[in-house]
Chains A and B, each alone.
Chain A
């Protein structure tokens, strides 16, 4: 029973974790992309469609990553090259993604999808209590954990990661040192798009293997809130994703048990938690200074 609940929590948390990890890298480079929801749903419809036509969930996953990255390239071109407003462009990207995916996915509605299998290692997976949890989940779950470790290592232990953080902290200084601000931001935004695409594919190939219009259901927004909730630290994003995942699952169980907690209140919990965290971190000067990308959302136009 316990193991089963933890596994459902992991399933609910994984798409949040992947999308938020991508957005964390984007925001660390100083770009605010509010289009996560749109990129995610584009990934979902692509992943579902490609897996359905080819029969291979992995081809679906790769296609979703590609489409997520391409979709974010549109955002990058608009905000970085044409210097449009990041907030407005991000919102437009979300609306575009929701509409476009509905159109593309019209023929997929009601079709049974392809489900990605779970890992099975003889003996290990059969271990009591932890076997299925540690050795018996879907491959993307393992990718999400490796992604967290990878991003944490990249950001804080490599020179490239330092460069990315420097661009997010002060793009003027970075430019003066000869760091290619725009190029780095392009790469970061596309990484974020690829992650959102992967998160979308997870929804359509693992979470519920079918296509429903608008099936991302606000998870892109939760991912955005998570990044702030985690004060831009990768391992805290993981903790936050599982916390919010647990809330989602707990909400279902609470409803099933007939507890008198309004489900709307529980759905609002991630956002409430984010506001509380924002208030808390803004009270601590050092924490704000070290973790919040100071150039976040500010447009950059180099003079040359």
Chain B
């Protein structure tokens, strides 16, 4: 269908040889791309493939080093986002470009170039949101809204400018499956109205489901154009990654294994620590030896607070609230809990999981100087550098960490490689309990598969593994049971065989988080 329309006039947008260089790195290398009118065009690629850089150039936030952009057949230089909007290009950002302290209507007003009054804007936004079935209160403060609601504001803001091309940068990564369905409906409607959409994603299923054509990027280069509906998820993944991604193998845990609880959380509640944090409300959870339990949930529902409480960054008043290997650990600090056999990997890699300006070996020592004091420290507490270097080398080879120097600073590694190192650093201790928050956030598919496999293998060797993640595909891949966190409450874990995307999605959206059965366990 789009082919025919195409032939009548020039394509809406054509990009020829677009290149952007950051220092030594060619983030985009001679990219060619054509977007026809009325099509949903997917831009596929792994993290760091150059997708975001490309669209930032199209939207005028970045200046291309060379190449040209043709808009309706005319060559243009997009000098600023304002200019892009005037041409008719709208954008919905991945990391929302909203202002927490302002209302929805004020946020919309900021991106309009004329002097429409705030009342008019609120009215228009209300009408538009009703027309597209995206309910929105124009006078709500953005800081009070959920991620899904924030995205609605972005979309309404974009639509109010009546763009002909809408760029969406990984729009579903923060949504529940139901919210994502709603988004797809809106996009299909926009396509029916003749608007073009450039859809950036690394989720292959949704690309197959919606998109008319796809352009695949790898290492800043276009590696192929295709019709995603004619491809399989595996063939698309191969194009993105460049080779076959090792499938993660998860065998069911041995049925006869003793179900020995290694990590127990018994009635954990927590007052909000700061103005933006979520209170935790009566959380019960048991993770047994040999199993992986996943915690799903939309970002900002208390996962960070929960992790802090489990890892000992925040100490509980009642020691029995957190138990490790059958012993009360609630009053122990991080080192105390590590000594009790637990290991933790926080969400934020730089600054939390690792000290950015310190070498890998130093980071290794920093996290394990208590647990491995005997090996790492000599008499008078002096550091035994060769032993630590040896251990760092072991971790690097075990996890296949790719690095440019012998012992580089943590910040010099790519996100995926640093994450492999951090996970490897903890696995190397063979912890009885492993708690990981967002294990593969921003990590490329190859490294992600490796990390997931390592977590499963650790569990099968007899440890208890707790994975907190916003990526449902990941949780279904690694978990034996999935619990859902919503608004500081945790649902009962659902065995993965019984869990469906729909069921988990409903819980993520806040449908009755009943936590019945654990009271029986507690007794």
Chain A residues in contact with chain B, CB under 8 A? 159, 162-163, 165-166, 169-170, 172-179, 282-286, 288-294, 303-304
Q: Give the most central of B97, B99, B272: most A CB within 10 Å.
A: B99
Q: Per a CB cutoff under 8 Å, which of B63, B80, B143 touches A289?
A: B143
Tell me, yes or no, whether B249 is within 8 Å of chain A by CB: no
Interface string of B97-132 (1 = CB under 8 A from A): 111111000100111000100000000000000000
In the assembled complex, which residues on chain B have CB atoms less than 8 Å from the CB atom of A284?
Answer: 275
Tell me, yes or no, whether B139 is within 8 Å of chain A by CB: no
In the assembled complex, which residues on chain A have CB atoms less than 8 Å from the CB atom of B276?
Answer: 285, 289
Q: In the complex, A188→B44 CA distance in Å?
A: 42
How far does the Cβ of B183 sit from chain A's closest Cβ, in whole Å?
20
Known: A159-B109, A288-B275, A290-B141. A166 touches B99 (CB 8 A): yes
Known: A178-B82, A285-B275. A162 touches B101 (CB 8 A): no
Q: Can you name the residue of chain A whose Cβ is closest to the Cβ of B277? A: A285
Q: In the complex, A282→B276 CA distance in Å?
A: 10
Q: In chain B, residues 45-89, which have Cβ atoms closer than 8 Å to a Cβ of chain A?
A: 60-63, 80-85
Q: In the complex, A291→B144 CA distance in Å?
A: 14
Q: In the complex, A166→B141 CA distance in Å?
A: 13
Q: In the complex, A153→B272 CA distance in Å?
A: 35
How far does the Cβ of A286 sit from chain B's closest Cβ, in whole Å?
8
Q: Can you name the residue of chain B whose Cβ is closest to the Cβ of A163? A: B110
Q: List 19 A-B contacts (CB under 8 A).
A: A166-B106, A169-B99, A173-B98, A173-B99, A174-B99, A175-B61, A176-B81, A177-B82, A178-B60, A178-B84, A285-B272, A289-B100, A289-B101, A289-B141, A289-B275, A290-B141, A291-B101, A294-B100, A304-B61
Q: In the complex, A173→B82 CA distance in Å?
A: 13
| B110 & A179 in contact (Cβ 8 Å cutoff) | yes
Tell me, yes or no, whether B93 is within 8 Å of chain A by CB: yes
How far does the Cβ of B400 sit from chain A's closest Cβ, in whole Å?
31
Q: Per a CB cutoff under 8 Å, which of A169, A290, A303 touches B62?
A: A303
| A176 & B110 in contact (Cβ 8 Å cutoff) | no
Q: Per a CB cutoff under 8 Å, which of B83, B111, B144, B275 touches A177?
A: B111
Known: A284-B275, A303-B62. A169 touches B101 (CB 8 A): yes
Q: Give the most central of B62, B84, B110: most A CB within 10 Å.
A: B110
Q: In the complex, A291→B141 CA distance in Å?
A: 12
| B80 & A178 in contact (Cβ 8 Å cutoff) | yes
Q: In the complex, A290→B98 CA distance in Å?
A: 14
| A178 & B81 in contact (Cβ 8 Å cutoff) | yes
| B63 & A169 in contact (Cβ 8 Å cutoff) | no
Q: In the complex, A170→B81 CA distance in Å?
A: 16
In the assembled complex, which residues on chain A have CB atoms less than 8 Å from the CB atom of B80?
Answer: 178
How far does the Cβ of B81 sit from chain A's closest Cβ, in whole Å?
3
The range of chain B's interface size is: 20 to 34
| A173 & B97 in contact (Cβ 8 Å cutoff) | yes
Q: In chain B, residues 236-275, which have Cβ atoms closer than 8 Å to a Cβ of chain A?
A: 272, 275
- In the complex, the number of residue pairs spanning A and B with C-beta atoms less than 8 Å apart equals 77
Q: In the complex, A162→B110 CA distance in Å?
A: 7
In the assembled complex, which residues on chain B have CB atoms less than 8 Å from the CB atom of A282?
Answer: 275
| B115 & A177 in contact (Cβ 8 Å cutoff) | no
Known: A176-B81, A303-B62. A170 touches B100 (CB 8 A): yes
Q: In the complex, A159→B63 CA distance in Å?
A: 28
In the assembled complex, which residues on chain B have CB atoms less than 8 Å from the CB atom of A175?
Answer: 61
Q: Can you name the residue of chain B whose Cβ is closest to the Cβ of A293? A: B101
Q: In the complex, A228→B58 CA distance in Å?
A: 41
In the assembled complex, which residues on chain A have CB atoms less than 8 Å from the CB atom of B109?
Answer: 159, 162
Chain B residues in contact with chain A, CB under 8 A? 60-63, 80-85, 93, 95-102, 106, 109-111, 115, 141, 143-144, 272, 275-276
In the assembled complex, which residues on chain A have CB atoms less than 8 Å from the CB atom of B102?
Answer: 162, 165-166, 169
| A294 & B101 in contact (Cβ 8 Å cutoff) | yes
How far does the Cβ of B229 sit from chain A's closest Cβ, in whole Å?
32
How far does the Cβ of A300 sit from chain B's closest Cβ, in whole Å?
14
Sample of 18 more A-B contacts, CB < 8 Å, known A172-B95, A294-B101: A162-B106, A162-B109, A165-B101, A166-B102, A172-B97, A173-B97, A173-B98, A174-B110, A176-B97, A177-B110, A178-B82, A178-B83, A284-B275, A286-B143, A289-B100, A289-B143, A290-B143, A304-B62
How far does the Cβ of A303 sit from chain B's closest Cβ, in whole Å?
7
Q: Can you name the residue of chain A whose Cβ is closest to the Cβ of B84? A: A178
Q: Per a CB cutoff under 8 Å, which of A177, A290, A292, A293 touches B97?
A: A177
Q: In the complex, A163→B80 CA distance in Å?
A: 16
In the assembled complex, which residues on chain B have CB atoms less than 8 Å from the CB atom of A166?
Answer: 99, 102, 106, 110
Known: A289-B143, A294-B100. A176 touches B93 (CB 8 A): yes
| A176 & B61 in contact (Cβ 8 Å cutoff) | yes
Q: In the complex, A199→B80 CA distance in Å?
A: 39
Q: In the complex, A234→B61 CA distance in Å?
A: 34
Q: Can you name the residue of chain A whose Cβ is closest to the Cβ of B62? A: A304
Closest CB pairs A-B (n = 5): A178-B81, A285-B275, A173-B97, A178-B82, A176-B97
In the assembled complex, which residues on chain B have CB atoms less than 8 Å from the CB atom of A293?
Answer: 101
In the assembled complex, which residues on chain A have CB atoms less than 8 Å from the CB atom of B111?
Answer: 177
Q: Give the most central of B93, B101, B272, B276: most A CB within 10 Å.
A: B101
In the assembled complex, which residues on chain B have CB atoms less than 8 Å from the CB atom of A285?
Answer: 272, 275-276
Q: In the complex, A165→B102 CA distance in Å?
A: 9
Q: Can you name the residue of chain A whose Cβ is closest to the Cβ of B110? A: A166
How far does the Cβ of B196 sit from chain A's closest Cβ, in whole Å?
21
In the assembled complex, which residues on chain B have CB atoms less than 8 Å from the CB atom of A165?
Answer: 99, 101-102
| B96 & A173 in contact (Cβ 8 Å cutoff) | yes
Q: Can you name the residue of chain A whose Cβ is closest to the Cβ of B85? A: A178
How far does the Cβ of A229 sit from chain B's closest Cβ, in whole Å?
18
In the assembled complex, which residues on chain B have CB atoms less than 8 Å from the CB atom of A163?
Answer: 110
In the assembled complex, which residues on chain A have CB atoms less than 8 Å from the CB atom of B61?
Answer: 175-176, 178, 304
| A159 & B100 in contact (Cβ 8 Å cutoff) | no
In the assembled complex, which residues on chain B have CB atoms less than 8 Å from the CB atom of A177?
Answer: 81-82, 97, 110-111
In the assembled complex, which residues on chain A have CB atoms less than 8 Å from the CB atom of B106?
Answer: 162, 166
How far does the Cβ of A167 sit from chain B's closest Cβ, in whole Å?
9
Q: In the complex, A176→B61 CA distance in Å?
A: 6
Q: In the complex, A94→B236 CA distance in Å?
A: 61
In the assembled complex, which residues on chain A have CB atoms less than 8 Å from the CB atom of B81?
Answer: 176-178
Q: In the complex, A288→B100 CA distance in Å?
A: 11
Q: In the complex, A142→B93 CA distance in Å?
A: 46
Q: Per a CB cutoff under 8 Å, which of A179, A286, A290, A304 touches B63?
A: A304
Q: In the complex, A205→B239 CA distance in Å?
A: 75
Q: In the complex, A176→B94 CA distance in Å?
A: 11
In the assembled complex, which residues on chain B have CB atoms less than 8 Å from the CB atom of A290?
Answer: 101, 141, 143
How far does the Cβ of A3 sit from chain B's closest Cβ, in whole Å?
41
Q: Can you name the residue of chain B whose Cβ is closest to the Cβ of A291? A: B101
Known: A162-B109, A304-B62. A170 touches B275 (CB 8 A): no
| A169 & B275 in contact (Cβ 8 Å cutoff) | no
Q: In the complex, A6→B438 CA distance in Å?
A: 61
In the assembled complex, which residues on chain A have CB atoms less than 8 Å from the CB atom of B83?
Answer: 178
In the assembled complex, which residues on chain B have CB atoms less than 8 Å from the CB atom of A179?
Answer: 110
